[in-house]
């Protein structure tokens, strides 16, 4: 049995434009590829130009449309330029995936002030900065839109040696709810996806920071009801749901993608 025309229409992002941050690798890349596969043109944002261009190449090789724009989400001028680039290249913005992230695994005593500032600026301020530039374009377009912010299981509970990460992700989650209230009247939905341990370069960098054996670290990360570490595609599928018409009446909430890790 094939998909019904109505279900295919709800799932399709054909003709839409997505902006994705942190899209040079990991969850960002996997999600950019999935959104493009569903029909969206994707503006790939990252400070990693080589990785971002590779994401574009992968999308185009699969028959999709994409462009890269270097963007430091901490910088207002970069965020403004990114929104303007999406409009100039594709003519609209329908989906914003705020995903740029950094993890510094230290507790409050060991964490330096500049490390605290970096983590909060990238993951919390960065969501505000780019949303601030994109939402006016969504409103002007009159079609509404979907904003998906990357939270974490640690947005909902604490974690060891990750005080700045937990603070930033907790802020992202509550900011998501506030923005859903503010922009709902414009038919702009705002939700969060909250991953558990996902096999990405960032997760493996956390292992290195903690000085742990990688094999043991990954085995412990897989110790959850569904006995494996997550993949970028696991998160990308949840983002696609939140971006698509399948979630047309879903806003101000979160989808936990963690294999049951916080069950």
Query: Which sequence positions are flagged as catalytic?
Result: 165
Give CA–CA dist 192/243, Å, rounded.
Answer: 11
Give CA–CA dist 59/18, Å, rounded.
Answer: 13
Distance between first and last Cα of the chain: 34
Q: CA torsion 177→181→184→188, rounded to 10°?
A: -30
3-state secondary structure of 96: strand
Give CA–CA dist 133/78, Å, rounded.
Answer: 10
Give CA–CA dist 153/87, Å, rounded.
Answer: 33
User: What are the φ and ψ backbone dihedral angles of 199, each rounded to 5 degrees?
Assistant: -75, 90
CB neighbours of residue 142 within 10 Å: 8
Residue in this structure with the two tokens 């960098």, named with its chain if needed: 205
* Residue 250 tokens, joined: 């879903």
- The continuous run of DSSP H or E covering 85 comes out as helix 76-90
């Amino acid at each position: 049995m094939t998909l019904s025309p109505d279900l295919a229409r709800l799932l399709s992002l054909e003709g839409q434009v997505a902006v994705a941050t942190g899209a040079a690798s990991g969850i960002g890349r996997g999600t950019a590829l999935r959104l493009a596969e569903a029909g969206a043109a994707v503006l790939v944002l990252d400070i990693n130009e080589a990785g971002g261009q590779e994401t574009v190449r992968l999308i185009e090789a699969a028959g999709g449309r994409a462009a890269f724009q270097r963007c430091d989400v901490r910088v207002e001028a970069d965020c403004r330029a990114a929104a303007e680039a999406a409009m100039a290249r594709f003519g609209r913005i329908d989906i914003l995936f705020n995903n740029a992230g950094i993890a510094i695994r230290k507790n409050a005593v060991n964490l330096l002030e500049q490390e605290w500032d970096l983590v909060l600026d990238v993951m919390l301020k960065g969501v505000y900065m780019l949303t601030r530039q994109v939402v006016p374009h969504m409103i002007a377009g009159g079609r509404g839109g979907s904003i998906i912010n990357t939270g974490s299981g640690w947005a909902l509970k604490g974690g060891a040696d990750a005080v700045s990460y937990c603070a930033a992700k907790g802020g992202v989650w509550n900011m998501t709810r506030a923005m859903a209230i503010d922009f709902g009247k414009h038919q702009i939905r705002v939700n969060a996806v909250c991953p558990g341990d996902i096999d990405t370069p960032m997760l493996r960098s956390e292992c290195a920071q903690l000085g742990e054996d990688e094999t043991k670290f990954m085995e412990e990360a897989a110790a959850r009801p569904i006995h494996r570490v997550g993949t970028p595609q696991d998160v990308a599928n949840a983002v696609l749901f939140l971006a698509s018409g399948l979630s047309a009446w879903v806003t101000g909430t979160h989808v936990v993608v963690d294999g049951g890790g916080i069950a």
